[in-house]
Amino acid sequence: MALSDLLPAPRPMYTNLSWSQKLFCSVGIATIAYFVGNFYSSIYLHFIRRSKLHRYLREDGSAWALVTGSSDGIGKGFAEELCSRGFNVLLHGRNQAKLEMVMADLMQRFPKVMVLSVTADATKASSADIDNLLQTVQTLPGKLTVLVNNIGGVPFQPQYASMTECGEEMVDNIVNINARFPTQVARALLPTLRANSPSLVLSMGSITGLQGPPYLVAYSASKAYNHTFSEALSAELAAEHVEGVEVMTILTGVVNSAGNPSPVNFFTPTSRRMAAAALDKSGCGKRVVFGYWAHALQWTAVTMIPYRLREAILIKALRSRKAEEVAESRKTH
């Protein structure tokens, strides 16, 4: 007779638990499953899945992409990346001289594609500017299939200012650049993008739109607007049974660019690397998503901090930046 025959049959441990213990155990298992699922989903999104941006190319090489705010920074990174992937690119900016420099550079580096430009002052977002942009798109030697509403930021001095320190014109300019101009561009070009589908409307959001910091009130609020814009427009297209137009907002953290000379590190990619990561999210099925994996990791870590503590950290950090900007301004004057 085997020893196992003399011992009582083992009972599953779970059956020995009280109902409250079973409840906590079930909650624990569900929580672990949730975090494991999210972890795998993030790994797949940022490192495994392939971009579907190629859907918006044309075999005859006639596909065009419009990148707003492409004179430098992330916008220029988008232009470089789109050219490298076979798209003809229409650059937008308000400084014709800077646009011509970028055009010359791109045409030299990517001779197989066409590069054109159009000027418009996003701080004004006038009807004439929007009409001129639309007319330029309609006369392109090909079809516009990608709109990258990249333009944004606070390209003014001071960058960090309380609402009582901001003048009426400054607030209008910030809202126009980050919300009004991108919305009007999308509105004007949506019929064209629908006609040329499959097509993509990609907007640039910001981590500041998820929890607004002090001294950037108008900017962070207008970035939060971008997030809702993509969700609402996607829902509207679905409600009207419009297929083939992908709408998404890319969330970003700190990026090294002309307007933000932060050193490149683990959490701070170059402008082109940020642009490449954003384009790679095309076709992922999400309306609002972090483009760069380290920014997603950073935000996940931040959300584990209690809200009030997060707010206190933001206040301290932005107070410091504002003080540094004021001190620097005094030196130069």
Please check whether residue 251 is in contact with residue 257, taking contact to mean a CB–CB distance below 8 angstroms. no
Give 265's strand partners.
268
Taking the C-alpha atoms of residue 230 and residue 247, their distance in angstroms, rounded to an integer, is 6
Burial class (CB in 10 A: 0-12, 13-18, 19+), 209: buried
Residue 215 appears among annotated catalytic residues: no
Residue 241 tokens read as: 């049974």
CA distances from 141 to 86, 114, 283 (A): 15, 9, 26
Q: Look at residue 7 and give its three-state secondary structure.
A: coil
Residue 223 falls in the annotated catalytic set: yes
Q: How far apart are CA 93 and CA 71, in angstroms?
A: 6
**Catalytic position from the list 219, 281, 292, 322:** 219
* Residues facing residue 251 across a β-bridge: 290
Catalytic residue among 143, 223, 281, 322, which?
223
**What is the distance between the terminal CA atoms of the chain, rounded to a whole angstrom?**
97
CA distances from 77 to 47, 191, 271 (A): 20, 27, 5
Q: What gap in Å lies between CA 119 and CA 129, rounded to an integer? A: 8
Q: Which residues pair with 247 in a beta bridge?
A: 201
The rounded distance, in Å, linking the Cα atoms of 159 and 259 is 11
Q: Which residues are catalytic?
A: 219, 223
